[in-house]
Amino acid sequence: MGGLVKAELRKIISTSLWWALLIPVALLGFGAGWLGSSIVALIDAVEQFDRAVPLGLLSVSMSTNFSTIFAALFGAMAFAGEFRNKSITTTYLTSNTRSAVLVAKLIACSGVGLIYGLANVLFASVGGLVGAGRDFGGFGSLGDWLSVGAAAVLAMVLWTLLGVGFGALVANAVLAIIVPLVYKFMVEFILSLSLIESPAAGISPYLPGTAGNGIVANLAVPLFVTAVAGPDEPNTPRAAFEFLHLFFGGSYGHPWWASLLTFLGYVTVFIAGGWLVSRRRDIS
């Protein structure tokens, strides 16, 4: 297994895919961090707070929501791309089992997902810091910032693993790119809008994209409100939470760990599906 993982890492490093997708992660992280600080500044302009506003928590949440799609695309292309250039034939013929290849890809790609996650947190924090006029008080407590940052890194790794499973399932580089983009930015967006105020609105937090965003957002928003409202947090109106979730992701009243478990379920389904299909797929 160690040799397979090394081989997969060499494939990743020898191509430009991983760093080409790292660039938008860094840029979006910085931009989202800056935008997040602007939105919080707008809130602060409407209502003056008597304590520091921990905008860094929301900046990381917003940047993660935008950037995880690149982790999913990388994971999907890491597998599906091998079918495009026919290197999957050599990979399968020189490895012990196809299952071992999938496990090695999951391990190697999770390392790249970890890099994406750390870059996202770093650049989102820098963007939020610049947008807030270099006010370090805007990051909130160290414990809160580390919790949100760790959740963001975890979300990025999970999106990468989901992408690997999807790539193994479709084995088509074009589909590996188009389907995730269309689903996240069109299908689920329209579906979420149609569920608002409908009797089925309760299923919205369990949609793949919403669940993935909720890992960070459903942690960051309550921590932000608690830090800002202090002892008045129980009296915070629901509308304030919903306004923040609208911009920074997640769902009102839905715990972050429920989003994590839901998304883990999707990751498991895609990896299991990719494993089942790849075991029987013909290669040439």
Please tell me the distance from the alpha carbon of residue 25 to that of residue 138, in angstroms, as a whole number: 22
Amino acid at 214: G
Output the pLDDT for position 48: 60
Whether 264 and 155 have beta carbons less than 8 Å apart is answered as: no
Task: Report the SS3 class of residue 8.
Answer: helix
- The whole-model pTM stands at 0.87
Query: What is the DSSP code string of 100-136?
Result: HHHHHHHHHHHHHHHHHHHHHHHHHHHHHHHHTTS-G
Top mean-pLDDT range of 9-18, 52-61, 246-255, 264-273: 264-273
* pLDDT tens by residue, 212-230: 888 998 998 888 888 777 7
Rounded Cα gap, residues 205 and 144, in angstroms: 23
Compute, in degrees rounded to 10, the torsion defined by CA atoms 249, 251, 255, 260: -50
**Rg of the chain over all Cα atoms, to the nearest angstrom:** 20
Question: For the chain, what percent of residues have pLDDT higher than 70?
Answer: 88
What digits encode the pLDDT tens for the residues 140-191?
777 888 898 999 999 999 999 999 999 988 888 888 888 888 888 888 888 8
Indicate if the pLDDT at residue 33 is higher than 80: no
Burial per residue of 119-136, b for 16 or more beta-carbon CB atoms within 10 angstroms, e otherwise:
bbbbbbbbbbbebbeeee
Residue 12 is predicted with a pLDDT of: 82
Over the stretch 88-125, which tens digit does the pLDDT of each residue have? Answer: 777 777 777 888 888 888 998 999 999 999 999 988 88
Torsion of CA 35, 40, 41, 44, to 10 degrees: 170
